[in-house]
Amino acid sequence: MTHAFPGGALALDFAGTLRYRHRPEPREDLSSPESLSAWFRESGITEHAIPCEAADLRTALALREALHRLIRARMAGTAYDRDALALVNAYARKPAPVPQLTATGCHVEARLEQAFAAVARDAVTVLGGPDAALLKECGNPECSQVYVDRSRGARREWCAMDPCGNRIKAAAYRARKRTSGRRTA
Protein backbone atom coordinates (compact mmCIF):
# COMPACT_ATOMS: atom_id res chain seq x y z
CA MET A 1 0.00 0.00 0.00
CA THR A 2 1.41 3.34 -1.05
CA HIS A 3 -0.89 5.70 0.83
CA ALA A 4 -1.67 6.12 4.53
CA PHE A 5 -5.18 6.25 5.99
CA PRO A 6 -4.85 7.29 9.66
CA GLY A 7 -7.67 9.85 9.77
CA GLY A 8 -10.61 7.57 10.36
CA ALA A 9 -12.55 9.17 7.49
CA LEU A 10 -12.03 9.35 3.73
CA ALA A 11 -12.23 13.13 3.64
CA LEU A 12 -9.59 13.53 6.35
CA ASP A 13 -7.26 11.09 4.66
CA PHE A 14 -7.74 12.78 1.28
CA ALA A 15 -6.98 16.18 2.82
CA GLY A 16 -3.94 14.56 4.44
CA THR A 17 -2.37 13.59 1.13
CA LEU A 18 -0.30 16.75 1.42
CA ARG A 19 1.70 15.47 4.37
CA TYR A 20 3.70 17.53 6.88
CA ARG A 21 2.12 20.87 6.00
CA HIS A 22 4.03 22.47 8.89
CA ARG A 23 7.39 21.79 7.26
CA PRO A 24 8.90 24.32 4.86
CA GLU A 25 8.55 21.68 2.14
CA PRO A 26 5.55 19.40 2.70
CA ARG A 27 5.43 15.97 1.06
CA GLU A 28 2.98 15.55 -1.81
CA ASP A 29 1.43 12.08 -1.92
CA LEU A 30 -0.68 12.86 -5.01
CA SER A 31 2.24 13.61 -7.28
CA SER A 32 0.88 12.02 -10.45
CA PRO A 33 -2.35 10.86 -12.04
CA GLU A 34 -1.29 7.29 -11.21
CA SER A 35 -0.89 8.12 -7.51
CA LEU A 36 -4.40 9.62 -7.50
CA SER A 37 -5.80 6.46 -9.05
CA ALA A 38 -3.90 4.37 -6.50
CA TRP A 39 -5.33 6.47 -3.64
CA PHE A 40 -8.90 5.79 -4.76
CA ARG A 41 -8.19 2.06 -5.05
CA GLU A 42 -6.33 1.81 -1.73
CA SER A 43 -9.01 3.81 0.07
CA GLY A 44 -11.62 1.26 -0.97
CA ILE A 45 -13.66 3.68 -3.06
CA THR A 46 -13.10 1.41 -6.04
CA GLU A 47 -11.46 -1.95 -6.62
CA HIS A 48 -9.87 -1.10 -9.95
CA ALA A 49 -7.70 1.69 -11.24
CA ILE A 50 -9.53 4.79 -12.37
CA PRO A 51 -7.97 6.33 -15.47
CA CYS A 52 -6.68 9.78 -14.48
CA GLU A 53 -4.98 12.53 -16.42
CA ALA A 54 -3.05 15.66 -15.42
CA ALA A 55 -6.23 17.79 -15.47
CA ASP A 56 -7.91 15.27 -13.15
CA LEU A 57 -5.00 15.56 -10.74
CA ARG A 58 -5.38 19.36 -10.72
CA THR A 59 -9.08 18.93 -9.94
CA ALA A 60 -8.25 16.50 -7.13
CA LEU A 61 -5.74 18.92 -5.61
CA ALA A 62 -8.30 21.74 -5.73
CA LEU A 63 -10.84 19.50 -3.96
CA ARG A 64 -8.22 18.46 -1.42
CA GLU A 65 -7.33 22.06 -0.56
CA ALA A 66 -11.01 22.98 -0.28
CA LEU A 67 -11.47 20.08 2.13
CA HIS A 68 -8.44 21.18 4.11
CA ARG A 69 -9.80 24.72 4.47
CA LEU A 70 -13.19 23.41 5.63
CA ILE A 71 -11.63 21.00 8.13
CA ARG A 72 -9.43 23.74 9.60
CA ALA A 73 -12.36 26.14 9.82
CA ARG A 74 -14.49 23.53 11.58
CA MET A 75 -11.74 22.77 14.08
CA ALA A 76 -11.18 26.48 14.75
CA GLY A 77 -14.88 27.23 15.01
CA THR A 78 -14.69 29.83 12.25
CA ALA A 79 -16.86 30.38 9.19
CA TYR A 80 -16.33 28.17 6.17
CA ASP A 81 -14.65 29.59 3.08
CA ARG A 82 -17.52 30.09 0.62
CA ASP A 83 -15.61 28.84 -2.43
CA ALA A 84 -14.39 25.73 -0.61
CA LEU A 85 -17.89 25.02 0.64
CA ALA A 86 -19.38 25.45 -2.84
CA LEU A 87 -16.82 23.09 -4.41
CA VAL A 88 -17.30 20.34 -1.83
CA ASN A 89 -21.09 20.63 -1.97
CA ALA A 90 -21.02 20.52 -5.79
CA TYR A 91 -19.18 17.19 -5.68
CA ALA A 92 -21.36 15.87 -2.84
CA ARG A 93 -24.40 16.31 -5.11
CA LYS A 94 -22.92 14.09 -7.82
CA PRO A 95 -23.61 10.34 -8.01
CA ALA A 96 -21.45 8.24 -5.71
CA PRO A 97 -19.96 4.79 -6.44
CA VAL A 98 -22.55 2.03 -6.32
CA PRO A 99 -21.55 -1.29 -4.78
CA GLN A 100 -22.81 -4.38 -6.58
CA LEU A 101 -23.41 -7.81 -5.09
CA THR A 102 -21.65 -10.59 -6.97
CA ALA A 103 -21.33 -14.33 -6.46
CA THR A 104 -18.01 -13.71 -4.71
CA GLY A 105 -19.09 -10.76 -2.55
CA CYS A 106 -19.23 -7.02 -3.04
CA HIS A 107 -17.77 -5.33 -6.10
CA VAL A 108 -17.30 -1.58 -6.49
CA GLU A 109 -16.27 0.26 -9.60
CA ALA A 110 -16.27 4.03 -9.88
CA ARG A 111 -15.65 6.72 -12.41
CA LEU A 112 -13.48 9.64 -11.34
CA GLU A 113 -16.40 11.96 -10.67
CA GLN A 114 -18.02 9.28 -8.47
CA ALA A 115 -14.80 8.92 -6.51
CA PHE A 116 -14.68 12.66 -5.89
CA ALA A 117 -18.34 12.48 -4.83
CA ALA A 118 -17.54 9.77 -2.28
CA VAL A 119 -14.85 11.95 -0.70
CA ALA A 120 -17.07 15.05 -0.69
CA ARG A 121 -20.01 13.17 0.84
CA ASP A 122 -17.75 11.85 3.55
CA ALA A 123 -16.68 15.43 4.29
CA VAL A 124 -20.33 16.45 4.63
CA THR A 125 -20.93 13.54 7.03
CA VAL A 126 -17.83 14.20 9.15
CA LEU A 127 -17.97 17.99 9.28
CA GLY A 128 -21.73 18.15 9.62
CA GLY A 129 -22.17 15.34 12.14
CA PRO A 130 -21.15 14.32 15.64
CA ASP A 131 -17.62 13.34 14.57
CA ALA A 132 -16.79 17.02 13.96
CA ALA A 133 -16.40 17.49 17.71
CA LEU A 134 -13.84 14.65 17.74
CA LEU A 135 -11.44 16.15 15.17
CA LYS A 136 -7.83 16.53 16.29
CA GLU A 137 -4.51 17.28 14.66
CA CYS A 138 -1.62 14.90 15.22
CA GLY A 139 0.55 15.76 18.23
CA ASN A 140 3.74 15.39 16.18
CA PRO A 141 4.75 19.04 15.59
CA GLU A 142 5.72 18.31 11.99
CA CYS A 143 2.65 16.26 11.10
CA SER A 144 -0.52 17.98 9.98
CA GLN A 145 -2.82 14.96 9.71
CA VAL A 146 -6.28 15.50 11.17
CA TYR A 147 -8.06 12.46 12.56
CA VAL A 148 -11.27 11.51 14.35
CA ASP A 149 -10.39 10.73 17.97
CA ARG A 150 -12.78 7.98 18.97
CA SER A 151 -10.46 6.70 21.67
CA ARG A 152 -11.69 6.12 25.18
CA GLY A 153 -11.59 9.44 26.97
CA ALA A 154 -10.51 11.17 23.72
CA ARG A 155 -6.88 10.75 24.76
CA ARG A 156 -5.35 9.78 21.42
CA GLU A 157 -2.40 12.04 20.63
CA TRP A 158 -1.15 10.94 17.22
CA CYS A 159 -2.62 10.21 13.83
CA ALA A 160 -0.89 6.82 14.02
CA MET A 161 1.74 5.16 16.18
CA ASP A 162 3.85 4.50 13.11
CA PRO A 163 5.54 6.81 12.46
CA CYS A 164 4.31 9.77 14.55
CA GLY A 165 3.69 8.18 17.95
CA ASN A 166 6.90 6.18 17.79
CA ARG A 167 8.96 9.27 16.93
CA ILE A 168 7.51 11.33 19.78
CA LYS A 169 7.88 8.51 22.32
CA ALA A 170 11.46 7.79 21.22
CA ALA A 171 12.39 11.50 21.48
CA ALA A 172 10.84 11.71 24.96
CA TYR A 173 12.74 8.58 26.03
CA ARG A 174 16.05 10.01 24.75
CA ALA A 175 15.36 13.30 26.56
CA ARG A 176 14.66 11.44 29.82
CA LYS A 177 17.87 9.42 29.42
CA ARG A 178 19.92 12.58 28.84
CA THR A 179 18.37 14.23 31.90
CA SER A 180 18.89 11.20 34.14
CA GLY A 181 22.47 10.85 32.84
CA ARG A 182 23.27 14.41 33.87
CA ARG A 183 21.85 13.90 37.37
CA THR A 184 24.01 10.83 38.04
CA ALA A 185 27.19 12.49 36.77
Phi/psi region, residue 165 (left: phi>0; alpha: psi -120 to 50; beta: rest), is: alpha
Whole-prediction pTM value?
0.87
The amino acid at residue 45 is I
Residue in 104, 126, 6 with CA at minimum distance from that of residue 47: 104
Residues 50-82 have pLDDT tens digits of 999 999 999 999 999 999 999 999 999 999 999
- Domain-by-domain residue ranges, the chain? 10-184
Residue in 106, 152, 130, 118 with CA at minimum distance from that of residue 10: 118
**Residue 182 in this model has a pLDDT that exceeds 90:** no
Residues 135-174 have pLDDT tens digits of 999 988 888 999 999 988 888 887 877 777 666 666 667 7
How confident is the model at residue 46, as a pLDDT?
A: 94
Helix (H) or strand (E) holding 18: strand 18-19
Distances in whole angstroms, Cα of residue 5 to Cα of each of 8, 16, 28, 183:
7, 9, 15, 42
- The dotted CATH code for 10-184 is 1.10.3300.10
Distances in whole angstroms, Cα of residue 77 to Cα of each of 35, 43, 80, 114, 152:
33, 28, 9, 30, 24
The whole-angstrom separation of Cα 23 and Cα 57 is: 23
